[in-house]
Amino acid sequence: MQGANGGTPESGNGANSSQGELALFLPDGIQTHEYTERAMKKKMKLVVIGNGMAGIRTVEELLKMAPDLYDISVFGAEPHCNYNRILLSPVLAGEKSLNDIILNQEDWYTEHHITLYKGEKATLIDRKNRSVIGELGARADYDRLLIATGSSPFILPIPGRELSGVVAFRDIKDVDQMLEAARTGRHAVVIGGGLLGLEAANGLRKQGMDVTVVHNMTSLMERQLDEPAASLLQNSLEQSGLSFLIAAQTEAIIGENRVRAVRFKDGLEIPADLVVMAVGIRPNIELAKASGIHCERGIIVSDTMQTYDPSVYAVGECVQHRGELFGLVAPTFEQAKVCANQLAEVGSGRYRGSVTSTKLKVTGIDLFSAGDFKGGEGFEELVMQDPSRGIYKKLVVKDNRIRGAVLYGDTVAGGWYFQLMRESTDIQSFRESILFGHSNMADEGRDGQSIASMSDDAEVCGCNGVCKKTVVDAILEKKLFTLDEVRAHTKASSSCGSCTGLVEQILQATVGNYDPTPAEKPVCACTTHAHDAVRQQIAQRGLKSLDAIFRSLDWQTPDGCQKCRPALNYYLLCAWPSEYRDDPNSRFINERVHANIQKDGTYSVVPRMWGGLTTPDELRAIAGVADKFQIPTVKVTGGQRIDLLGVKKEDLPAVWAELNSAGMVSGHAYGKSLRTVKTCVGSEWCRFGTQDSTGLGVKLEKMTWGSWTPHKFKMAVSGCPRNCAEATIKDFGIICVDSGYEIHVGGNGGIKIRGTDLLVKVSSETEVFEYCGAFMQIYREEGRYLERTAPWIERVGLAYVKSRLENAEERQRLFEKFKVSQETAQVDPWAELSKPAARSEFVAIASLENSHV
């Protein structure tokens, strides 16, 4: 559920990481230099009002990008350093200490030369003289001002609200008062049955108080839950010892100096030593308003987080953006990122609103809610209920897309649903099973296992050998908030990604709930554009080189990075097959040298064996090469061919030349390209074979080899439904039957196994070729780089792919396009690279004598 809030490490350890981030936006040399020069001339002044989550997050993001651009001062009304407000709930419940939730200690401010007016409320913004005045007399001038004053709890206008013992639930001071009351008093009344009220009630109960929750609506958390889920929630909270007064109207709080009781409209009076008001929040806009900045319910900001005064920015719960107010961390962090980009003058980032989800942080209760969970006219509801296990799941669906979700009791799939919802994924093909959760095997094996019950040394990430404790420690020590940050610091979930769900759950269990992924992620940190947008621009504006893309689309780095360049190189190749010249330096080494790099820096060589067929001559040639070049390992691959492993780089051209002369070409075992076409023996030999599967496989491979695709592309042809070639876990699989050929697509046998969907049944090989070429072409044009056909089809929906291919004319057109791009693609790279002129790349340019070193 966590996502790419920039994917950047916190700047917790200071200079190091800001240095690291810097170059993403300011490649060394030119721009850093410019900044230094500017800094020496005159640093600009930035004043921040509000030492809370959104304000300081913005400063952190800013420091990563432009550490020397501003002299920064911060006014903070609270007498504390910046802390993680959402963890006040576990502090109240005694599960965490105050010290655990501090995000930046005093020395962080010192280290970054930030002047902190701690415990000093800003009382005046003098916009004419660009200066902010504090309550104790401090004065700070600004070139740019950031308002991040958050919000205040709403206090019901009822008699007795000013009595001592009546508190809100917003800051450390409130929590201190509650803890104090819990030591001396017995009865607590919490007014408000929303998220905050329930977390307060739970905490107070854990501190030993008798707690009554008063709610004026008919069901709890009505803004996040439908009635069935709310009543399950109420039941389990009652079982844990809370009392509820539902649909009750509070009339007055009674007491002399200190609260004694609460009275309701119907005359009922209940004893109270503490009253917590948790009935909502209001943006803190008085200061902004008083200084003439345009406000409605919140401070009005544009997509660049600017107020009506262009030198004044605002972020967090105090703002109103496109009519919306905010009450969760995730959107405020997204705003922080955009605002920091603007302040750093490096970005063209825009904030366009956020989709959010909610979880209740009450230990032992699993609850998840997102989007439009109420549904109604025009919506469908998928519901699963298992009352004896206390499980309720509801998905609200429209046009086969998830619009909202409520989960109670089992929330493991929450992150997955949320992602499907945000990406507007077509769920038709897995609709029947969707309520049972993930199709992700690696995650599923761990279902039902709560994070809390996992032992510290349980392995979370199998690729990188990372255990639970390592992840938790890193999150706490390095103050990590997002999945990408955890990936960067621990490597967990950074390789094959199958443990992503698990890492997200650990993250949630440790620091609460963030979800900062925008609907579509940018290609990488060099840009704000997402994959599809870039491709559109390439076509629309006729961009035909990497440089043209960097310039026209405002790339923030002069020559991209290792993430965007390979993607862009592919997009250009796909868009302009006959014009664009491939850029080898924008390719991963394997594709650059047409062999797979191994852990020791040697390479593996896999010659093509069409359809899995070979000959004694080919085998002799392979044996000869292995002997001649002393190749240590010869292995049969999972793709029906032979791998020569451990070839030295400088031997590659000679090895290829030798294989070429025996008639063999590159097998592209390294490429985001057509890999193998696996076949079975078929009708030529097998007693069950219905068609010549081997022959068909060979023809398919001859037609498609050499083509570049967004990710690797594998095929198989089985001679009958016994399916010995495993065609139903391939990107494109054929099952031969007596009457013809079943065409299956979108299978994957790798990290996340997925069986194919049946696309169509045809009666001739000619039709198979046509479907194959046309299918590959849509995938080539619309699949995002590094997205295999399985996730691609899940994203766009099988119905869409079918609709494109059913139309004979469209199919023919796509097939023709495919054939055109094959004209330039089917050149054996081995033959090219073993030519003498190309060989220099493979050998050292110079060799130093012993005496020289």
Ligand X SMILES: Cc1cc2nc3c(=O)[nH]c(=O)nc-3n(C[C@H](O)[C@H](O)[C@H](O)COP(=O)(O)OP(=O)(O)OC[C@H]3O[C@@H](n4cnc5c(N)ncnc54)[C@H](O)[C@@H]3O)c2cc1C
Distances from the Cα of 493 to the Cα of 2, 460, 488, 774, angstroms: 12, 8, 9, 34
Name the minimum Å distance from CB 451 to other proteins.
23
**What letter represents residue 534's amino acid?**
V
Per DSSP, the three-state class of 71 is: strand
Q: Which residue has the tokens 């209920």?
A: 385
Binding mask 559-598 for other proteins (x = CB under 8 A): xxxx--xx------------------xxxxx---x---x-
Per DSSP, the three-state class of 634 is: strand
Binding partner of 669, given ligand X, ligand SRM, other proteins, none, CB within 5-8 angstroms per partner class: ligand SRM
Instruction: Give DSSP secondary structure letters for 720-752.
Output: STT-TT-GGGSSEEEEEETTEEEEEE--B-SSS
Q: Which residue has the tokens 């063209």?
A: 348
Name the minimum Å distance from CB 55 to ligand X.
5
Binding mask 472-491 for other proteins (x = CB under 8 A): ------x---------xx--
- Interface positions with ligand X (CB under 6 A): 49-55, 75-78, 85-86, 88-89, 121-122, 148-150, 169-170, 196, 284, 287, 316-317, 327-330, 332, 361, 512-513
**One residue of 606, 665, 762, 805 binding ligand SRM per CB under 6 A:** 606
**One residue of 271, 584, 646, 749 binding ligand SRM per CB under 6 A:** 749
Q: How far apart are CA 721 and CA 740, in angstroms?
A: 12
844 in contact with other proteins (CB under 8 A)? yes
Instruction: Report which residue's Cβ sits closest to ligand SRM.
Output: 750
Binding partner of 749, given other proteins, ligand X, ligand SRM, none, CB within 5-8 angstroms per partner class: ligand SRM
Is 528:347 a contact under the CB 8 Å cutoff? yes
Q: How far apart are CA 383 and CA 406, in angstroms?
A: 10
522 in contact with other proteins (CB under 8 A)? no
Name the minimum Å distance from CB 610 to ligand SRM.
12
Binding partner of 239, given ligand SRM, ligand X, other proteins, none, CB within 5-8 angstroms per partner class: none
Name the minimum Å distance from CB 86 to ligand X.
3
811 in contact with ligand SRM (CB under 6 A)? no
Q: Of the ranges 617-625, 653-661, 763-771, 841-849, which one interacts with other proteins (CB under 8 A)? A: 841-849
**One residue of 601, 636, 766, 809 binding other proteins per CB under 8 A:** 601
- Of 147, 8, 130, 143, whose CA–CA distance to 69 is shortest? 143
**What letter represents residue 258's amino acid?**
R
Rg (CA), the chain: 31
Which residues between 618 and 657 bind other proteins (CB under 8 A)?
none
Report residue 316: phi and psi, to 5°: 95, -155
Nearer to ligand SRM, 27 or 749 (CB): 749
Binding partner of 788, given ligand SRM, ligand X, other proteins, none, CB within 5-8 angstroms per partner class: ligand SRM
Instruction: Report which residue's Cβ sits closest to ligand X.
Output: 52
Q: How far apart are CA 538 and CA 542, in angstroms?
A: 5
Q: How far apart are CA 596 and CA 647, in angstroms?
A: 10
Q: Are strands 312-314 and 144-147 parallel, antiparallel or unpaired?
A: parallel
Q: Which long-range contacts (CB under 8 A, 24 or more apart) does 500-503 make?
A: 500/443, 501/412, 501/415, 501/416, 501/438, 501/440, 501/443, 501/446, 502/443, 502/446, 502/451, 502/460, 503/460, 503/461, 503/471
Q: Tokens for 97?
A: 């200490």
Reading phi first (left if > 0) and then psi (alpha if -120 to 50, else beta), residue 30 is in alpha
Nearer to ligand SRM, 422 or 712 (CB): 712
18 in contact with ligand SRM (CB under 6 A)? no
28 in contact with other proteins (CB under 8 A)? yes
Q: How far apart are CA 204 and CA 242, in angstroms?
A: 10
Nearer to other proteins, 533 or 589 (CB): 589
Name the minimum Å distance from CB 464 to other proteins.
9
Q: Of the ranges 8-16, 39-47, 762-770, 817-825, which one interacts with other proteins (CB under 8 A)? A: 8-16
Q: Which residues bind other proteins (CB under 8 A)?
A: 9, 13, 16-17, 19-20, 23, 27-30, 478, 488-489, 495, 557-562, 565-566, 585-589, 593, 597, 599, 601, 840-841, 844-848, 850, 852-853
Q: Which residues bind ligand SRM (CB under 6 A)?
A: 596, 598, 604, 606, 635, 637-639, 641, 643, 669, 675-676, 712, 714, 729, 748-751, 788
